[in-house]
Every structure is written in structure tokens, then in C-alpha cells.
Amino acid sequence: MPVKRLTRSTAPRPGVGIVHLGLGAFYRAFGACYVAEAMAHSGGDWGIIGVSLQSPAIRDALRPQNWAYSSVTLSSAGQEVAVIEVLEDVLVAPENPAAVLAAMAQPGVRIVSLTVTEKGYCHNPATGALNVDHPDIAHDLAHPLPQSAIGFLVRALALRHAAGVAPFTVMTCDNLPENGPLVRGLVLNFAARVDPALAGWIAEHARFPATMVDRITPATTQGDIARLEAVTGHHDAAPVLHEPFRQWVIEDDFVGDARPDFAAVGVQMVQDVTAFEHMKLRMLNGTHSALAYLGYLSGHETIADTVANPGFNTFVRQLWAEIMPAVATPTGVDLAQYAAALRARYENPAIRHRTWQIAMDGSQKLPQRILGTLAENIAAGRASPGLILAVAAWMRYVGGVDEQGRTIEVKDPMAARLRAVSDAATTPAEKVVALLAVAEIFPLALAVQLRAPVTQAAERLWAQGAQRAVDAEIQ
């Protein structure tokens, strides 16, 4: 008997209130779930139009299911499946950018949210400035039909401005420090180059709340799809798998106060997200990246596999001890308890979060996840040997060859350049000097301070291998 395809219920549909740019697994496992729950609790027309900025794959997977998909919570106790029916359409930007702009310009759309990853903002990670030389930004400044997320935001706001429609709230859900103010600055910079009057209108009337998002969401595999089908009896071409834990902290600053009833479903609506954001970026994302590079080089496929290794389990606790003095504690949070909860999440064997996946886009992630902490620790005279070793491991990783001489598939917008820089140097010390000179990643003053300790760590890492280097670090 053929397996039935998952599809949505026949319940009445809400109106569209949100356009989301970057409809990847994380948002569908996180933000879309919160929106669906908020509407179930308090109503409202907050249906979501998703936008893929690159590939039609997610549109093609979800359309036969009428945009419904499974959200699967994984724990040691098993799995729990919920069907999410908040999506109303999925658009593919490269196929029809005008349709995306038209959707964003609808008066009923009051929020445009984003999960486009750090590299999707086309900015300089070391400075936060818009990279006007980025090919997508250069294109979008010259053409009314954009390619970049920033271009879509500005061109859609221009349409609303011309039509006398209030701007939407721009709500980024990516792991960037001060992400709301950062995106506001990028949008205003772009808009000022298009039309100074538009930039002034956006600055006065639009809102860019900062957010902190947290839920570990591994990439879905064909094996996951087959196992879910065996359990539910329905074929779902695009389920999302995630841990039980989730946390969303949002600065309560929306155009006309228009938003789903997030607070009713556990979102923390606050006046200042900064402390939560820094805590998560440094304590979770920083250790995730450190474990990803060192774990991958040691032959560990996932974070759970990595921390199952006694040396790495001790090492990550050392990392938190280095990081916590550089974290401003959010009100009501105990950092030691937060670290203990993170360790338990990392150890969850049901979450197969690949080190290779976390290692992607390191050139964009390193500044906010690790380098900021290092800069503060150096200024305060605090040692950070574990974080230094993590930087050295990133340098070995982007060289594109692992400890057994096998090729690493490095996914990074600067991958070719970083590989060329690494290949042009011979010794570990020379590679450190060359990579520290990449100004888009390492501010000059910090690069000077890092040269000696990272060189020492790199020489040890190349000579001993990642596992032995980690074991030596925790002695």
C-alpha cells in the first residue's frame, strides 16, 4: 500500500503577516513554530510567506504538501512529531524577484524576518560595515530587482514609501552581535546610496529589534526522512529535526506594536537583548565552533561524538571558564548553570549535529564567536589557551587538508582566498602570519596580539594533531 504524502488540514487559513527571507531548517524548526503557536493561542493574521534567496529545493519539496511539514523533537526518550501549517507560500527569489518585492510590499505584511546566515548580510565581519564591493550589493545598487537580503529589504521599503504604506519591522534571527542595530546600519547605508530621502524615512519609521535565537537544528538527511515515514505513515519531503530546548529573546520594538503574541508562548520580550545575545554567541556558538574545528580534525563526525571523548568533555569546560569572565550576565541567569545546560545539550545522542556543518562560514563567524572574547581577555590580562587553540584549528581547517592528508570540503565565502593564503605559506608559523593578515577577519591590533600565542598553538597542533593538542591543553 503506497505511503500517503503529508498535507495540511482543511482548517481556515490566516492572512499573511510575515515574509521570511531564508527559509532554511532552523527557521522552520524555530521561528515558524513559535508563530504557529502564538496564533493558536491568541489568533491574528500572521501567516508566513517564505522566500528562498538561492535554491528552489525547499519550495519544490513543500509545494506538493501544501506547505505543511513535520517538526520533530529529538531526545534520549525518543521523538515527538508536530505538523506545522503556518506557511502560506514559498517564493524563489532568483526566479522572480519582482514577486518577492510585491509580497514584501503588501500592507498586511508587518514583519520581514531573516535567517540568511552571517554571510548573507554582505558585510565586513570585522567592522560591521556594508561591503559595497560584494557582487550582490554592487548589483543591487545598480538594479531595481535585487539579489541580496539587504537589497530586498531596501527595495521593498522603497515600494512601501512610494505607496504611502507604513514600513515593516525588520527582525533578523541570525547569530550576529547587536544584530538589530547592525542590520539597521546596513539597510540605511544601502538606502542612502539609492535615495537619501528613503533612508531618512526608514530611519524615522522602521524598526529593527535585536534578537537572540537558540535551538540546535541538525541538517535533515534522507535517512531521517525514511525513519519519520516509517513512524508516521506519511511521506514528508522536508521535515525539520531539533532538540527539545529553545529560547527566543526579542527586543520589544515593532512598528505600531504589531507582532504575534510571542510572550504567550514563551518568548522573552525585553528592552535590551545585548546580554542574552553575547552570552549565547560566546558560550554556545563560540564553544560550538571550537569543538567543530578541533573535533573535525580529530575525526569526530558530530558534537555529541566529540564531547563523548573525555578529553574534549574536559576541554569544553575549560573553554567556558575562559569565556565566562568576558560575558555580562543577563538578569536572572547563572552562567555556571547555563554552561552545565549547554554541556547536557551537546551530549544529547539523538542530535546528530555534524562538526562539518558547524564549521561552515568560519570567516564570518569567528569575529563574533571567538575573537571578541579573545580581545576582551587580552585587554584584561586573562589567558585564553583553549580559544587560542581553536583559532589555530580554524587555520588548519581552512587549509583544506586534514591530518591524514585528505581533502576537507571547506564551505566558506572566502574559502578560495583562505586556501590560497595558506598554500602560499610553508610552515605553521608562516601560515599563522599570513592568515592573521586577512583584515576582513582579524582587526590589525588584535592580529598583532594573537601572533605569538596562535603561532605556538599552531606549531603544537600541526606536530601533535588535534586530539593530542586538546589532551595536552587540559593537563
pLDDT digits (tens, 9 = 90+) for 332-383: 999 999 999 999 999 999 999 999 999 999 999 999 999 999 999 999 999 9
E-state strands within 93-189 = 111-114, 169-172
Cβ within 8 Å of residue 70, ≥6 positions away: 6, 81, 82, 83, 84, 228, 232, 236, 239, 240
The type of residue at 310 is P
Instruction: Give the span between the Cα atoms of 293 and 356, in whole angstroms.
Output: 8
Output the pLDDT for position 216.
96
Written as one string, the DSSP assignment of 341-401 is HHHHHHT-TT---BHHHHTTTHHHHHIIIIIHHHHHHHHHT---HHHHHHHHHHHHHHTTB
For 214, left (φ over 0), alpha (ψ -120 to 50), or beta?
A: beta
pLDDT digits (tens, 9 = 90+) for 77-116: 889 999 999 999 999 999 999 999 999 999 999 999 999 9
pLDDT at 329 over 60: yes
Q: What percentage of the chain carries pLDDT values higher than 70?
A: 99
> What are residue 161's phi and psi, to 5 degrees?
-60, -45
Output the pLDDT for position 1.
43
At residue 31, the 3 state secondary structure works out as helix
Closest CA to 319 of 353, 355, 293: 293
The type of residue at 400 is G
Question: Cα 394 vs. chain centroid, distance in angstroms?
Answer: 18
Question: CA gyration radius for the chain?
Answer: 22
pLDDT digits (tens, 9 = 90+) for 215-270: 999 999 999 999 999 999 999 999 999 999 999 999 999 999 999 999 999 999 99
Full-model pTM: 0.93
Mean pLDDT of the chain: 97
Q: Residue 2's pLDDT band (boundaries 50, 70, 90)?
A: low
Output the pLDDT for position 32.
98
Closest CA to 156 of 115, 191, 184, 114: 191
Output the pLDDT for position 77.
86
390 close to 294: Cβ distance less than 8 angstroms: yes
Domains and CATH numbers, the chain: 13-270 (3.40.50.720), 274-473 (1.10.1040.10)
Residue identified by cell 557582487 is 135
Quick one: cell of 344?
Answer: 547536557
Instruction: Give the span between the Cα atoms of 199 and 194, in whole angstroms.
Output: 8
